[in-house]
Structure 1
Amino acid sequence: MPTRSSPSVDDVQDAVLATRVGSAIAEQRRARGLTQAGLAEMINLEQEAISRWERGSRVPTLYRLQQLSDALGCSVDQLLRRGSRYIDDQVATISESLQGLGDDERELVVDFVHQFADLLRSRKHVRGRSRK
């Protein structure tokens, strides 16, 4: 009787990356008011291919990532950066979120992020002391 092997760490990480890239594609597409069919037409593909990418069931090739970034007016990096654990990528993602906001609105978001980070640090500190 054949045994089922569990997915490797690489397989799991690939699936997570596929989901993150798919979310980034969908977000960029919606931000530009495009449908999946409209985006597919722009890069000469079937709408189902866009749907598979956005669902994370498939990952676009590097060539298709470049086509997507051109069609969506963003960088390949923006499509791949989503969900990264690197602080520089996270900072860049937050920075992109501030685009299009007024001075007061950006200040409000920055204050919120600062206060929320302080809250999380203080909770971590309290939890660390309670374990001792």
Structure 2
Amino acid sequence: MPIRPTPPTDEAQDALLAARVGTAIAEQRRARGLTQAKLAEMIDLEQEAVSRWERGTRVPTLHRLQQLSDALECSVDHLLQRGSTRPDDQLANVANALSGLDADERTLVVDFVQQFTDMLKAKHAARTPRRE
């Protein structure tokens, strides 16, 4: 009988989400050419708070998420999608990553993703015992 992996604790999931949201904040800030200090000033906060969010050691409150989305000119959803494991959210992240690439570069990335997922599916299928 196969052993089921133990699901991560709430604390572990919270830490992972905090890190992913922090990464999204940092990416959006850099994409807009802002420093942590400038972003903090825009939302009337200390620079250290932005630094803690970006490092994933703290999570912004809902109010601060709304302020961040306004300052960074993106949706709250965009900041939260980075930490989501839902396929639709992950697909949106991939689509966002493709923006700004020319047609040939997008084709290259899509081909790579397709080949990589085919390889992983084949590997997964080889590990799964067949039922007869």
5+ residue gaps, structure 1, are: 1-7
Residue equivalent to 2:111:
111
TM norm structure 2: 0.86
Residue equivalent to 2:80:
80
Aligned-residue Cα RMSD (Å) equals 1.7
Q: Deviations over 1:87-127 (max 9, x none)?
A: 10111000001111111111111111111110111111223
- SS of 1:30's partner is helix
Measured in 2, the distance between the counterparts of 1:49 and 1:57 equals: 10
Q: How many residues align?
A: 123
Q: Counterparts of 1:35-74 in structure 2 under 5 Å?
A: 35-74=35-74
What's the CA shift for 1:60? 0.6
What's the CA shift for 1:73? 1.3
Percent identity between the aligned chains?
Answer: 68
Measured in 1, the distance between the counterparts of 2:39 and 2:61 equals: 16
Letter in 1 for 2:109: V
Letter in 2 for 1:22: G
Measured in 2, the distance between the counterparts of 1:125 and 1:9 equals: 28
Measured in 1, the distance between the counterparts of 2:109 and 2:15 equals: 31
Measured in 2, the distance between the counterparts of 1:41 and 1:66 equals: 15
Letter in 2 for 1:111: D
- SS of 2:128's partner is helix
Measured in 2, the distance between the counterparts of 1:12 and 1:46 equals: 27
5+ residue gaps, structure 2, are: 1-7
- SS of 1:33's partner is coil
- SS of 2:84's partner is coil
Letter in 1 for 2:79: L
Q: Which structure 1 residue ranges, 4+ long, deviate > 4 Å from structure 2?
A: none
Residue equivalent to 1:19:
19
